[in-house]
C-alpha cells in the first residue's frame, strides 16, 4: 500500500517548488499547485484526482464547537460557495473568491478500497496567526472514500487546537468544475512540466518508504 509518509513528503516538496515558482502570485495558487502535484503523482504511477472543496479555517474555540455540533462563536475563515448560508456574525470572516469561489486539493487513492489521502499543497493560504490559526506547511489527511465522495467533512487539527475542515463539492455545484476551464489548469504546460521535473528529481532522493505492507 502507498505510504502516507511518502505522500506527505511529496506534497511538501511540491509546496516548496510551487511557492518559489509562483512567488509573484502569493499563496493563492491552489489550481497551479494542485496541477503540479497531480502531474508528479501521475508520472510516479499514483492514481489521484484534483478535487474542488470548500474550506473552513477555525480557531480553537470554533473548531471545538463544530466538533460538538453547536453554533460557533469564535473565528472562522471560509472559502467556498453558499456564502449566503453562513452565519451573519462579525466573528465569521468570509472570503468570497473573485474568480472562483472554492479551493482545489488532490485526492490520492493509495489502493482500491483503502482510505483516501487528501493533500492540500496551498493550505498555508489559510494561515491567520492573528486569530490563532497556524498553517505554515501543506497538509494531508485520511478520508473514508464513501464519506468523502458524498461530501461529508474531513480535516485536520492544527497547533493550539485550531483546525481546517474540508468538504468535497457536489458534482452539480458549478464551482466543482470551474477550475477545469481556468488558465491555471489549461495553459502553462511547459512551466508545469518544468516544476514537476524539479519535484520528481527531489522525490527520487527521498529516504522515505514509498510502499508499506
pLDDT in tens, 76-87: 888 888 665 565
Indicate the average pLDDT of the chain: 91
Residues 6+ apart with CB under 8 A from 161: 59, 60, 63, 64
Q: CATH class for domain 4-203?
A: alpha beta
What pLDDT was estimated at residue 84?
56
CA distance 15 to 41: 14
CA distance 8 to 162: 20
* Mean pLDDT along residues 181-204: 95
What pLDDT was estimated at residue 210?
94
Written as nine digits, the cell of 174 is: 458549478
Look up cell 464519506; give the residue: 147
Does residue 170 carry a pLDDT above 90?
yes
Q: What angle do CA 96, 99, 105 make, to 5 degrees?
A: 80
Does residue 97 carry a pLDDT above 50?
no
What pLDDT was estimated at residue 96?
47
**For the whole model, what pTM was predicted?**
0.92
* Mean pLDDT along residues 165-169: 96
Amino acid at each position: 500500500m502507498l505510504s502516507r509518509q511518502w505522500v506527505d513528503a511529496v506534497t511538501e516538496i511540491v509546496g516548496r517548488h510551487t511557492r518559489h515558482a509562483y512567488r509573484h502570485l502569493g499563496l493563492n495558487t491552489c489550481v497551479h499547485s494542485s496541477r503540479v502535484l497531480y502531474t508528479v503523482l501521475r508520472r510516479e504511477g499514483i492514481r489521484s484526482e484534483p478535487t474542488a472543496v470548500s474550506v473552513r479555517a477555525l480557531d480553537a474555540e470554533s473548531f471545538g464547537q463544530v466538533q460538538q455540533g453547536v453554533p460557533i462563536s469564535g473565528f472562522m475563515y471560509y472559502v467556498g460557495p453558499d456564502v449566503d448560508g453562513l452565519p451573519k456574525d462579525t466573528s465569521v470572516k468570509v472570503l468570497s473568491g473573485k474568480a472562483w469561489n472554492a479551493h482545489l486539493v488532490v485526492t490520492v487513492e493509495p489502493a482500491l478500497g483503502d482510505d483516501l489521502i487528501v493533500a492540500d499543497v496551498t493550505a498555508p493560504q489559510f494561515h491567520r496567526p492573528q486569530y490563532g490559526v497556524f498553517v505554515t506547511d501543506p497538509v494531508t489527511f485520511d478520508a473514508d472514500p464513501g464519506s468523502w465522495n458524498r461530501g461529508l467533512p474531513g480535516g485536520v487539527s492544527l497547533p493550539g487546537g485550531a483546525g481546517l475542515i474540508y468538504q468535497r463539492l457536489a458534482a452539480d455545484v458549478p464551482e466543482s468544475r470551474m477550475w477545469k476551464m481556468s488558465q491555471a489548469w489549461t495553459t502553462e504546460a511547459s512551466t508545469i512540466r518544468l516544476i514537476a521535473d524539479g519535484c520528481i528529481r527531489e522525490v527520487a532522493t527521498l529516504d522515505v518508504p514509498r510502499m508499506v505492507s
